[in-house]
């Protein structure tokens, strides 16, 4: 299924066995969306959750970033691509809880 067919969803999750191409698809779709964002009025961010060693570091880099702050105080939509959740869970036990609480705290709904 192509991204265009599911792009109107508020939240998308790719699940599958290691080595099935999920990261490749996330990166390819992010690059496509980044090019589209330059022409349209939305923001796009991508982070690899496997790069973080603590939930605090993750929160700082994602939710205190310039792009996130621009979205938070503006009227644009934000597309946030997060990869390697399974890898991050190996060394950050609270990663899912932290992501959920940060997204809830900032409000993930915005009329489009």
Q: Residue 2's pLDDT is what?
A: 63
| Kind and range of the H or E run holding 61 | helix 55-63
Overall average pLDDT of the 26-35 stretch: 92
Overall average pLDDT of the 64-91 stretch: 90
Tell me which residue has tokens 């290691």.
18
Q: Residue 11's pLDDT is what?
A: 72
Query: How far from chain centre, in Å, is Cα 23?
Result: 12
What is the distance between the alpha carbons of residues 69 and 55, in angstroms, rounded to a whole number? 18
Domain boundaries, given as residue ranges, for the chain: 3-106
Overall average pLDDT of the 27-46 stretch: 92
Q: Residue 108's pLDDT is what?
A: 63
Q: Residue 88's pLDDT is what?
A: 87
């Amino acid at each position: 299924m192509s991204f265009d067919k599911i792009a109107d969803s508020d939240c998308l999750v790719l699940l599958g066995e290691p080595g099935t191409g999920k990261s490749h698809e996330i990166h390819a779709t992010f690059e496509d969306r980044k090019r589209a964002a330059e022409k349209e009025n939305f923001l796009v961010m991508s982070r690899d959750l496997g790069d973080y060693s603590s939930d605090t570091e993750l929160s700082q880099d994602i939710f205190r970033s310039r792009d996130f702050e621009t979205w938070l105080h503006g009227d644009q939509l934000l597309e946030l691509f997060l990869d390697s959740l399974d890898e991050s869970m190996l060394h950050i036990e609270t990663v899912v809880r932290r992501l959920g609480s940060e997204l809830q705290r900032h409000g993930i709904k915005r009329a489009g």
